[in-house]
């Protein structure tokens, strides 16, 4: 019973002794690929290309799924939030309006021209 008090040192295993790591590869479903493409791009053709790249199917098979799932951006009405006021005041209405900005387009150019020329 004295062997339980003795520290037992384990021998370190090297990576060569371990079994190989098995990685399971499952391509996304059509629905998952279309949802990801919609989040990445607004243009339908770009969505088709992205979904094709994710799934590995030709564009002719993916396009109907993208068109069927095409969602129109809803027109957001301003939100009205009612706040609780004290007993002597009437409740206040707060209007929150969201403004959308135009997308920023960055044009890539080559090197600037040498002003000495």
From residue 83, give the alpha-carbon distance in Å to each of 79, 87, 89, 97.
Answer: 13, 13, 11, 17
Q: What is the pLDDT of residue 68?
A: 92
pLDDT band for position 63 (cuts 50, 70, 90): very high
19-23, 52-56, 68-72, 102-106, range with the lowest pLDDT: 102-106
pLDDT band for position 117 (cuts 50, 70, 90): low
> Which of the pair, 84 or 60, is modelled with greater confidence?
60
Query: How does pLDDT run across 11-25, given as a tens digit for each residue?
Result: 666 777 778 888 888
Residues in the chain: 117
> Which of the pair, 19 or 7, is modelled with greater confidence?
19
Q: What is the pLDDT of residue 103?
A: 72
């Amino acid at each position: 019973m004295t062997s339980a008090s003795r520290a037992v040192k384990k021998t370190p295993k090297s990576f060569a002794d371990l079994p190989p790591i098995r990685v399971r590869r499952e391509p996304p479903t059509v629905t998952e690929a279309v949802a990801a493409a919609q989040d990445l791009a607004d243009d339908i053709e770009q969505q088709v290309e992205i979904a094709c790249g994710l799934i590995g199917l030709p564009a002719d098979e993916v396009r109907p799924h993208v068109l069927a799932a095409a969602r129109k951006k809803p027109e957001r009405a301003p939100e009205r939030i009612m706040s609780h006021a004290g007993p002597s005041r009437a409740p206040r209405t707060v209007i929150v309006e969201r403004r959308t900005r135009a997308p920023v387009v960055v044009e890539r150019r080559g090197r600037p021209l040498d002003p000495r020329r």
